[in-house]
Amino acid sequence: MSAESEMFLIRVPASTANLGPGFDSIGLALGLYLEIHGSSSDHWEIIPLSEEMSVFPRDERNYIIQIAKKTAAAYGKELSPCRLFVSSEIPLARGLGSSASAIVAGIELANIVGELQLTDDEKNRHASLFEGHPDNAGASVYGGLVVGLHTQQKTDVVSFPIEGVKVIAVIPDFELLTEDSRNVLPASLPYKDAIAGSAAANVFLAGVMTKDWKLVGEMMQSDRFHQPYRAELVPHLAHIEEVVLQEGGFGTALSGAGPTVLSLTSKENSAAVLTALKLEFPEYVVKELEIDNDGSHTAILSEQEKKGLEFL
Ligand SMILES: Nc1ncnc2c1ncn2[C@@H]1O[C@H](COP(=O)(O)OP(=O)(O)O)[C@@H](O)[C@H]1O
Ligand SMILES: N[C@@H](CCOP(=O)(O)O)C(=O)O
């Protein structure tokens, strides 16, 4: 970033990971956003614009700033401080990738302020290293559906846009930390289960490629890697699966580590599924979410765009 008065925008989508059998490997970007409006300052300062963001430190201890500094340091750069207005539509610890969105925002911040000129692949590599798996991180960087394999040595991710299917989320009113939901997973899996789990993930992807959404939905409910072990933490999952199939939806899976549950439906059936789920779960947020096929986005705002910002 050059001029003192310049203002930049960073916009990062939420994500749903796993989609059933794609544990730690498949993710989809969703149309809920973490946004940062930032400009140069003489010290680091966060100004939260949404309730969720007001719980975090407002100085350089903030996670987004920490990630930005670490990313810049990896390229031998020190970032000059910024004033950051942060808002987010992504609920925390609900399985919609809030932590990955914060990580990707930090990397975008380093990229723009430190003029690192990172490629998407480099952003995703850093994000996956911070997050530990590429499903949420990759979706937030590339948008669309991502399929990845991440190791300490390398991160390979393929991404492609998804169209022609509707996404409905049931978002419970309680948090479930990913760490807690990973602690119930077994250390190893019987060979037969691993084969069945891997086959379900393969068929899921074949179904996506051929737009056979009914098959995709069936595979979402055929996971062997994590959902059977997490079921006790998300007792609402089985009931949602039932309601969605009854109303003609394609299928249902735990969103990330939960507790949010995500269903796919056709355009024709989405209203019926939405209505039925709202009736069954009046205490939870039930809504349709858009698929984001663009991934994270940064821009320098024009004077005109700055004038439209009511918080300035
Ligand atoms: N914008 C943010 N700034 C700082 N920390 C964040 C931010 N967003 C998420 N986090 C951290 O990530 C945690 C949630 O991450 P996690 O348990 O992986 O769930 P999920 O990523 O599904 O929302 C929050 O409790 C918080 O500690
Ligand atoms: N593959 C991870 C995904 C965690 O996603 P989150 O949105 O719950 O952070 C897992 O299933 O643990």
What pLDDT, on a 0 to 100 scale, did the predictor assign at position 5? 72
Residue 57 region by backbone torsions, left for phi larger than 0, else alpha for psi between -120 and 50, else beta: beta
Give this complex's ipTM. 0.98
Domains 8-161+293-307 and 166-289 share a fold: no
User: Rounded to the nearest whole angstrom, what is the distance from the C-alpha of residue 32 to the centroid of ligand 2?
Assistant: 17
The answer on pLDDT for 1 being more than 70 is no
Residue 161, SS3? coil
The full set of domain ranges for the chain reads 8-161+293-307, 166-289
Task: Among the bound ligands, name the one nearest to the CA of residue 35.
Answer: 1
- The reply, when asked if residue 206 is annotated as ligand binding, is no
What pLDDT, on a 0 to 100 scale, did the predictor assign at position 312? 81
Q: Is the dihedral of CA 169, 172, 178, 182 positive or negative?
A: negative
The answer on pLDDT for 75 being more than 80 is yes
Condensed to tens digits (0 to 9), the pLDDT of residues 3-35 reads: 567 999 999 999 999 999 999 999 999 999 999
8-161+293-307 topology per CATH: Ribosomal Protein S5; domain 2 (3.30.230)
The rounded distance, in Å, linking the Cα atoms of 253 and 258 is: 9
What pLDDT, on a 0 to 100 scale, did the predictor assign at position 2? 55
What pLDDT, on a 0 to 100 scale, did the predictor assign at position 3? 54
Report which ligand 1 atom has the smallest distance to the Cα of 64.
3
What residue's CA is closest to ligand 1, atom 23? Answer: 93
* CA distances, 162 to each of 116, 143, 310 (Å): 30, 9, 34
What pLDDT, on a 0 to 100 scale, did the predictor assign at position 4? 60
Condensed to tens digits (0 to 9), the pLDDT of residues 144-194 reads: 999 999 999 999 999 999 999 999 999 999 999 999 999 999 999 999 999
| CATH number corresponding to 166-289 | 3.30.70.890
The answer on pLDDT for 132 being more than 60 is yes
- Residue 135 phi, psi dihedral angles, 5° rounding: -65, -55
Alpha-helical (H) ranges within the chain are 63-74, 98-113, 120-131, 134-142, 178-182, 191-209, 213-220, 227-230, 236-246, 270-280, 303-307
Task: Among the bound ligands, name the one nearest to the CA of residue 46.
Answer: 1
Measure CA 251 to chain center.
20
18, 58, 89, 99, best to mutate for ligand 1 pocket (most atoms within 8 Å of CB): 99
Condensed to tens digits (0 to 9), the pLDDT of residues 206-241 reads: 999 999 999 999 999 999 999 999 999 999 999 999
Q: What angle do CA 164, 26, 12 make, to 5 degrees?
A: 75
What residue's CA is closest to ligand 2, atom 10? Answer: 257
How far the first Cα of the chain sits from its last, in Å, is 19
- The reply, when asked if residue 266 is annotated as ligand binding, is no
What residue's CA is closest to ligand 1, atom 12? Answer: 99
